[in-house]
Chains A and B, each alone.
Chain A
């Protein structure tokens, strides 16, 4: 792989042992990919927390060891300096305020807060959300980024027109210290063109329908680049946030185009970049039904836990829920957690939405979600959610059956204690 003089200097230790380890990983990773060179990045979104039980022993050896092993793939502990690139923390396993409701042991909370203080001072901005683009990290078109979080990656590429691959915990650690990432995949303009033309033959407008479309599509195209046409209503941040998250769960979609909406496709021709269209797919009522059935694995209609807000809710979504439960009480056997970034939770509190939800018996969570934390309310047997991504992952992660539906279905379920959803 070709390296610049500065990159060779970092590799050879001229800029300290941590940057040398970071370059060593980037070279091993870049060569594994077949990348010819690295590219400069000043926008890194990664995971610098260590709250899974598997890494408890590492944490005892200190935060330099945690970063060295988990963020640089270095078995030798090296002192970690301040970040070279603008860097933020994605979602974590613990809500710093509501951890007791989650059921998290206090020792893990103490550990997480100490880690945040340590890494925060090194320049990692503690957004603590899967949606950094909702709280201030909004890259511009063409900007080279190194992001983790599949739902954020697909949003970054497709909706914002910035450029990132789905990076991992180790490559984002190395990028944060060096300001470099392999020039490969979606950093290269030719790879961003469409591969499949999707004819949508059923109206897709509400949030649930964008999720169903994404869930069906991801499983078919896997990591290819679909171009959506047909009966699509004008989407919003919220709808594309849900669509991308679903497509990146059933498959590995990192980029898509909606001609006339997304920034690299004024029309279908531009989406395909002049390529001949060879792969065509049709999404109709049968495909919609299939996605719905695949997402709904529960049988028992009594629901004890309603999970809302994956990817983390926008303020409008928190408002919708708050107004739907205002002045009402949740069913005594059902708990409801609403997830939103901490910065938006501040807004929600100021608006009175947090109080409305809490007065009804619900909880407004930040920093985490049940899939990441692996915690649901104690004794949960059946879950309902408005998120295709959570409906995909929670049965595997928590071993529990899940109902999937609209936010209205889910709120009605929380109020009655029984599943109220259906494919309408």
Chain B
């Protein structure tokens, strides 16, 4: 218990898309464009000055600030689902119509409005369980936090 609780953080938020999923976190501080920002056949980010350029979110728990750019956002995340390269779950900060509709049509468990900033708490490589139905995110740190005396 003590070892687990040392490495596990619980966040509470609001359901965007129902369901439960878990996987490795992929975290970015850059907002994401769908159309013109991702390759929908590979699930990779392609935007020229994006910190995840060339990285795939397939089967990852995608943790990001929100959506930007073209209204093709939802259609491109929709196609990642049709092509089997969609994220397993999504956690985002800023609610917009693009981010909401994109999550809805991707059919992946999604939460927002968390009680701590997910971009600070979660790091790429952490194991994250998203229980969107209950609005709970369980983060198991990949690297141990500061050792407890």
Q: Which of A5-13, A111-119, A393-401 contacts B (4 or more CB under 8 A)?
A: A393-401
Question: Once bound together, how far apart are the Cα atoms of A397 and B39, in whole Å?
Answer: 9
**A223-B74 in contact (CB<8A):** no
Chain B residues within an 8 Å CB radius of A34: 14, 95
- As a 0/1 sequence over residues 88 to 112 of chain B, the CB contacts with chain A under 8 angstroms (1 = contact) are 0000001111101111110000100
Q: How far is the CA of A53 from the CA of B40 in the complex (A)?
A: 10
- Of B4-12, B21-29, B62-70, B139-147, the one contacting chain A is B62-70
Contact across chains for A166 and B71 when beta carbons are under 8 A apart:
yes
CA of A143 to CA of B49, assembled, Å: 37
Q: Are B48 and A184 in contact (CB under 8 A)?
A: no
Q: A168-B98, A395-B48 are in contact. Are A70 and B78 (CB under 8 A)?
A: yes
- B48 pairs with A396, CB closer than 8 A: yes
A54 at the interface (CB under 8 A from B): yes
Range of interface residues on B (Cβ < 8 Å): 35 or more
Shortest C-beta distance, A169 to chain B (Å), equals 4
A70 to B48, CA, bound (A): 27
CB distance from A285 to the nearest CB of B (A): 22
Q: A73 to B68, Cβ gap below 8 A?
A: no
Q: Which residues of B contact A58 (CB under 8 A)?
A: 82
Q: Report the nearest B residue to A28, measured CB to CB.
A: B104
Identify whether the interface residues of A are mostly helix, strand, loop, or mixed. helix
Distance in angstroms from B76 CB to nearest chain A CB is: 9
Q: How far is the CA of A70 from the CA of B75 in the complex (A)?
A: 7
- Most chain A CB neighbours (cut-off 10 Å) among B69, B72, B97: B97
Q: How far is the CA of A329 from the CA of B36 in the complex (A)?
A: 33
Q: Closest residue to B40 on the A side, CB-wise? A: A54
Identify the 10 closest CB pairs spanning chains A and B, nearest first: A168-B74, A148-B71, A252-B68, A169-B75, A32-B100, A393-B36, A165-B97, A168-B101, A32-B16, A395-B48
- With A32-B104, A294-B49 already in contact, 9 other A-B pairs whose C-beta atoms are closer than 8 Å: A73-B104, A149-B71, A165-B97, A166-B96, A168-B74, A170-B78, A252-B31, A252-B66, A252-B68
A–B complex contacts, Cβ < 8 Å, 17 sampled: A28-B104, A29-B100, A32-B17, A70-B78, A150-B69, A165-B97, A166-B71, A168-B98, A169-B78, A170-B104, A185-B97, A222-B31, A249-B69, A252-B68, A252-B69, A395-B48, A396-B48
